[in-house]
């Protein structure tokens, strides 16, 4: 017999998509919101009290969990994206299912502390270092799914096809290099066979990813797209992050990566291009016209000197925007939202490209939609009970009127101001402390140290 669990949360202030509302009672049963009552000036008897500004749980739409081990290391000296990639490979080489679980658990706990209730994990480290599958061919993906459960957050595992090291001609690609062998299944058909075994769970959904047009030969793009289409699953792809990728694609195919993806049926409303940095006007029209989303990762894009993508033009063309922390130079979705607006201000020397409400939607509802969680990302009846509470009394947030809470959250607050994170009606972070991972900094330190051995 199933026991129904009911909780009432009283929100001192709540962001209800368009405005900040004081005194809101949110009733929850079995992890979903069953009622939202406004004009509740005091906590009802027995209610869980969330003081500060409560938002829907945040969605980190693009993550490579193991990149968290690079923090600090890759900030030494100078270099390029390509030199950064060599350091990244050295950490990828050392991962095992056990060490990856430990690291991802700590990283996802760090995300929960930052108000993230759902992560999109762009997962391509599939096999042993020499490319031999584990006894369970999905051991690494299962480690990530388990890590998210242990950290108390939701996950969309974007199982990634990664088959070649570079574009060689219009039909194929260069074989994976020594570091990339563990990423490859050999063909898109073998990739599809392996990841078809993955099962969804209450906290986990399965999507697909094309690493990039340089990592999946043109003739195999449609196989990945069909797999996602048949399952109505999200499909993500790194797109035009580097100009070198665009140049190689034009040399081999006579077109941009965006056009190549369009010609092979990859674009569409369940597809998200990650970065979308170096685009032509035609690219923007193709992405927007097809409803393909754009996931911007400003803290990584600036850390790697990628450039500033045309987010305003993409959104105007019809491409929904989401946000990700990608390489985890920092894990702070409020900073990602702020950076998208401030980058555009620097580029254009004009202010106000997005409202705070629009930036919060990119970090919540639109991010969840990009990950296949259309029932999350808003405080409303029938939605998943995922909540994030931002302190309004820290040194960063004290002073502004509560009705300006959205502006305060986006333009002043940081992940350090997250007071509570509730996922499925369960307190995962309470008063700034993780309830499932007792010492997140120590867990991170140990997991990263294990990869330096």
- Residue 69, helix vs strand vs coil: helix
Q: Residue 112, class by beta-carbon neighbours within 10 Å (0-12 exposed, 13-18 middle, 19+ buried)?
A: buried
Helices (H), 239-378: 243-253, 257-263, 281-289, 298-303, 311-317, 333-348, 356-363, 365-370
Name beta bridge partners: 27: 8, 35
Which strands make up the sheet holding 433-434, listed edge to edge? Answer: 32-37, 20-29, 6-15, 48-56, 387-390, 418-423, 426-430, 433-434
Residue 19 annotated in active site: no
Q: Which of 326, 332, 366, 386 is catalytic?
A: 326
| Residue 279 CA, distance from chain mean position | 21
User: Count of residues for the chain?
Assistant: 453
* Residue found by looking up tokens 């201000």 in the block: 345
Instruction: Count the neighbouring beta carbons within 10 Å of the beta carbon of residue 170.
Output: 13
Identify the CA nearest to 163 among candidates 220, 241, 79: 220
SS3 annotation, 215-275: CCCHHHHHHHHHHHHHHCCCEEEEECCCHHHHHHHHHHHCCCHHHHHHHCCCCCCCEEEEE
Residue 126 annotated in active site: no
Identify the CA nearest to 157 among candidates 170, 168, 148: 148
Main-chain dihedrals φ then ψ at residue 83, nearest 5 degrees:
-75, -35
Name beta bridge partners: 422: 387, 427
Q: Which of 123, 211, 264, 275 is catalytic?
A: 275
Under DSSP, the state recorded for 377 is: S
The pair of structure tokens assigned to 122 is 């762009």
The pair of structure tokens assigned to 267 is 């674009």
Instruction: Count the neighbouring beta carbons within 10 Å of the beta carbon of residue 233.
Output: 19
Q: Are 207 and 243 in contact (CB under 8 A)?
A: no
Q: Which residues are catalytic?
A: 275, 326
């Amino acid at each position: 017999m199933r026991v129904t669990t009911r909780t009432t949360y009283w929100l001192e202030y709540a962001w209800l998509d368009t405005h900040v509302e004081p005194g809101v009672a949110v009733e929850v049963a079995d992890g979903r919101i069953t009622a939202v009552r406004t004009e509740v000036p005091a906590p009802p008897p027995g209610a869980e009290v969330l003081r500060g500004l409560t938002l829907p749980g945040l969605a980190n739409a693009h993550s490579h969990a193991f990149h968290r081990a690079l923090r600090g290391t890759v900030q030494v000296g100078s270099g390029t994206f390509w030199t950064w990639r060599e350091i990244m490979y050295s950490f990828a080489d050392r991962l095992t299912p056990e060490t990856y679980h430990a690291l991802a658990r700590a990283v996802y706990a760090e995300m929960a502390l930052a108000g993230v209730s759902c992560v999109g994990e762009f997962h391509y480290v599939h096999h042993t270092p020499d490319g031999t599958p584990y006894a369970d061919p999905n051991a690494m993906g299962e480690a990530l799914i388990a890590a998210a459960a242990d950290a108390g957050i939701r996950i969309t595992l974007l199982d990634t096809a990664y088959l070649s090291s570079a574009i060689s001609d219009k039909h194929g690609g260069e074989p994976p290099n020594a570091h990339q062998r563990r990423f490859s299944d050999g063909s898109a058909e073998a990739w599809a066979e392996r990841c078809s075994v993955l099962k969804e769970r209450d906290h986990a959904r399965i999507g697909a990813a094309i690493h990039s047009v340089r990592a999946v030969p043109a003739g195999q793009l449609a196989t990945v797209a069909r797999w996602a289409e048949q399952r109505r699953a999200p499909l993500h792809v790194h797109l035009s992050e580097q100009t070198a990728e665009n140049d190689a694609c034009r040399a081999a195919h006579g077109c941009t990566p965006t056009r190549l993806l369009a010609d092979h049926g990859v674009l569409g409303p369940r597809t998200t291009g990650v970065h979308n940095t170096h685009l032509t006007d035609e690219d923007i029209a193709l992405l927007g016209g097809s409803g393909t989303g754009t996931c911007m990762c400003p803290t990584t894009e600036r850390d790697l000197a990628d450039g500033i993508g045309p987010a305003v033009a993409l959104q105007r063309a019809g491409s929904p925007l989401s946000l990700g922390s990608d390489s985890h130079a920092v894990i702070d979705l409020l900073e990602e939202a702020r950076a998208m607006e401030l980058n555009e201000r620097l580029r254009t020397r004009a202010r106000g490209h997005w409202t705070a409400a629009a930036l919060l939607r990119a970090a919540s509802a639109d991010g969840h939609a990009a990950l296949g969680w259309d029932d999350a990302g808003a405080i409303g009846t029938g939605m998943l009970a995922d909540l994030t509470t931002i302190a309004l009394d820290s040194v960063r947030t004290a002073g502004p009127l509560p009705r300006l809470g959205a502006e305060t959250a986006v333009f002043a607050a940081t992940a350090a101001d997250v007071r509570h994170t509730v996922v499925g009606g369960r307190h995962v972070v309470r008063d700034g402390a993780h309830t499932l991972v007792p010492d997140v900094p120590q867990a991170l330190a140990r997991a990263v140290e294990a990869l330096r051995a």
